[in-house]
Every structure is written in structure tokens, then in C-alpha cells.
Structure 1
């Protein structure tokens, strides 16, 4: 899985274009009670073509950036198209994809000063909301597998940092972790992985990707360097691009083909 047989730096083409005459999944908005925040919160949930309560599915939690919410991936990244195409090509394992709002506060809209301290803090608070509120809701309301090997977390920018921070801090919950252009909220590598040898044994996949023109690339560089220094298996992809959607969509496309 961590070999060099596949060149992930070459962006695929056509994977994000809607096709005719293929089976389609469904993406809908749900509300779940959050004891962490103290109100109901929204998320989007993608169920694959042919979703059936008679089967059990793995779950990918897919996180947005600092300027987004539960609609950002849906509006700009079109994950439902990417995933539908992968199912049509038989290139993906059956999974549910949950698109939460990673800004865990009562007014969680991306409005006003999105860099205000309380809004930045809300991205940290999301760890509790995810683990204690959202995941239990999904597991109670969808036909899903509940072991760590059936749970993945990934995200772009701020959500990429969250995915590393939350995923690596909860390896008993997540075996598959992906970060696309992680932002400065990403913890220092020594804090992310204080025991890299243990993490190396527990991880099924750690994916890290970034555009070569991204002004935040130093975050990915330092993380990759630490992982390499401590022999933590991971896929590192430095591709042609900036801090933008082509990089993030390619990250989702590649990562989702490898998990579960």
C-alpha cells in the first residue's frame, strides 16, 4: 500500500465529471443532537448506490476548510460524482461518507470573521462533537461497521489539520487517515505522534498530499519529514497545484480508492 508503484502526483482526468447511465448514490442533509454544543447540528451523508440496511458499510468522515461548512465539499468538490464514478468502475469499497460541520459552536455558519478566536477554537471542540455525538448518531441510524478498521477520517486545509489531530490522537477509533493540504492548525509532529513506533503498527493508511505551489506547504513538509525520520509508513504526494480544489478532489479520489 505504501509502495511507489502508483504515481499519485499525476492527477487523474474525468473522475469528477458526471456520467450518464450509471447507478447513483444519495446525498442528504441530516440533523443530529450534539451534547457537546448544546443544540442540533447539520451534516450531509452520502450513501452509495444500492445502499441497503441488510448490509454493513464502512464510514469515511470528510472534513471541510476554515471557510466552509457541511456544504463545502458538496458545493465545490462534488464528492457524490467522484464516488459514483468509482463505484461504476468497481474501484472502491462500499462506504458511507459523512460531511460534518467542523466548526462546533452554536452559530456554526462561516460568516463574519472566520478567523475569530472562538471560531478557531470551535474546530478543536469538534473532536468531542465528532467522537461523542456524531459518530454515535451515524452508528445508531445507518447500517455501518463500527470497528476502527472500518472508520476513516480525511479533510482539506483546516479539515486536513483536524484529520491529523483527531485521527492520530484516536487510533483506537480510526485506522485510515488522510490530510489534503493541512493548515497551520495541524499540531507539531512531536505532538501528533509522540510514540511513532506504536502509530506505525496501528495505522492502515496515512495519506498526506499538498500542491507544490501551496503557501502552507511547510506544514506538510515538516509532517512528512518527521514521519520519514521515524519510519512511519505513509503516502506523501506533492503534486502540481496550489491550495485549491484540484488538489483536494484528487486527494479524495486517490484516498477513497485505498481505504477499507
Structure 2
């Protein structure tokens, strides 16, 4: 059952619930620190039956990764103009998480950074808004469920249960996370939409059975910058959830549609994952 219940006012960007001990990430949270253990980022290829080709994904393993133990997994998705390297190049999730581990603030987890554009030529080149490229983001649901997750679960010692599987993303990836996560509550127990884009389904379509989501999810996180032109998407989703009494966190923070916001989202969101 959902454990985190925070319904935040739209114009109170610094208001957070008791579950979030910090209102915003502290200065230096994304700076590389010397003298602490560091995780590792590997680049892997997997066979995609959905696309009919080999695809690339990055995998972050935490400091002290031990193959004799089993870990939860966060699948972290990029935006419409990015690929599997967007988070790594602009959001430094490996640095943020290393620092959180060093401070004892988050649970050890794997983070999978896939390419959410499921097509043969999946580069963010040419017209990124072309019909086939946009449709490929929807196709990624099948690639994720049928190809990528089984691959990760064969390659790494991970816990194969929705309570130990999270899905989150920024912008286009935020929409994917809400669409795929809420559409597959038996697969994902922790869901985060950061500044979700217009690919996000309408609230009634996204959550046709509020009772099921209320019962199955551990955490549903909706966040957006207070100066983001896409705020209406997150706000509409929040309003629907509140109306139907679906527990969730609606976190409004200062900022626009950029990595300053999304890095802060990852810092805040990751501290709640896989905890009782």
C-alpha cells in the first residue's frame, strides 16, 4: 500500500512532507567527492526482440557492489532530445548517488539508463519530433518489459519483484514512467514523473482504476519546476489523484524545464526508494 501521502499546494515550492527531511538538495550534492567509495557505470548491449536489433543501455552499480547480494533496480529514463547518455552527461546520477550512499541517505540499488526511443536508428538526430521517433517512445514499453528487464535480471543479481523495481524519468521519460508504470502496477512499485511531457496520458486514462493503484504502489511521485510551461500536466495529474484519494507526493520546486530541477528530483526521489 502507498506509504507516502503528501498533497502539496501548487505555489508552495519549498513545502514538503515529513518523509522529505530536506526541502531541496544542499549545495555540492552533485559535486564529485574524493575520499568516498564510488560506483561504476557499464555500457551493455542487449537483444531487443521488440525492435529486432541490439540496443545499448548503461548500468550503474553502487559502491561496494557484491554479486552475492540481491539489489533493487531503478530504471531512469531520458527526454525527447536525449538518449541513454543524457542523464550521465547532464545529470551525473552516479555522482549524486555516490554522495547519498556516503551520507547513508539511500538504499543501495542498480540504476539502468536505457534508450527510450525504441527504433532501429535510436539516435537523437534529425527531427526529434518526427512521427516515427515519437511513436518509438511508446514502443519502448514493450522493449522495457519484454527485453530490457529480463536482460538485466539475467545479467545482475537483482530482486525480481515490483516492490524492488522503480521507474522514473524526465520530461518525455517522465510521461513514459507514468504511462508504463501506472499501466503495469504488478511490475513497478515505485514511480516518478519529473516534469512530465505531453506524451503523458490524460489522468482518467492513466489511472482508470484508482483503487488498484492505491493498493499496489509503494510510492507515486509527481514533480515539476514552478516556472515550467509543462506544469499543467503534472498539476492535472495531481488534481485527479487528489480527487480520487490516491496517495502521492506532488513536489513543486523552483525552476524551469532543465537539469537543475531534474537532478534535484533524483536526489529527493531516490532517498524514498525501497524503504519501509
After TM superposition, list the pairs within 5 Å mapping 1:1-260 onto structure 2: 1-3=4-6, 4-5=17-18, 6=20, 9-260=23-274
Deviation track 1:218-252 (CA, whole Å, cap 9, x = no partner) reads: 10110000000001000001111000111100111
Q: Are the aligned partners of 1:43 and 1:98 in contact in 2 as well (CA < 8 Å)?
A: yes
* Structure 1 residue 197: Cα displacement: 1.4
More relative contact order, 1 or 2 (CA 8 Å, 6+ apart) = 2
Whole-angstrom CA distance in 2 between matches of 1:19 and 1:31: 30
User: Hey, which bits of structure 1, 4+ residues long, moved more than 4 A?
Assistant: none
Deviations 1:168-206 (A, max 9, x none): 000000000001000000000001100111111111000
- Answer whether contact 1:9 1:240 (CA < 8 A) is retained: no
Contact 1:12 1:250 survives alignment (8 Å)? no
Stretch of structure 1 that moved more, 71-80 or 9-18 = 9-18
Q: Is the 8 A contact 1:25 1:80 kept in 2?
A: yes
Indicate the RMSD between aligned Cα atoms, in angstroms: 1.0
TM-score by length of structure 2 reads: 0.92
1:90 to partner: Cα distance: 1.0
Number of residue equivalences? 260
Distance in 2 between residues matched to 1:46 and 1:103, nearest whole Å: 20
The TM-score normalised by the length of structure 1 is: 0.98
| 1:189–1:9 distance in 2 versus 1, CA, 3 Å | farther
1:115-143 Cα deviation digits (max 9, x unpaired)? 00000000000000000000000000001
Secondary structure of the structure 2 residue equivalent to 1:152:
strand
Unmatched segments (≥5 aa) in structure 1: none
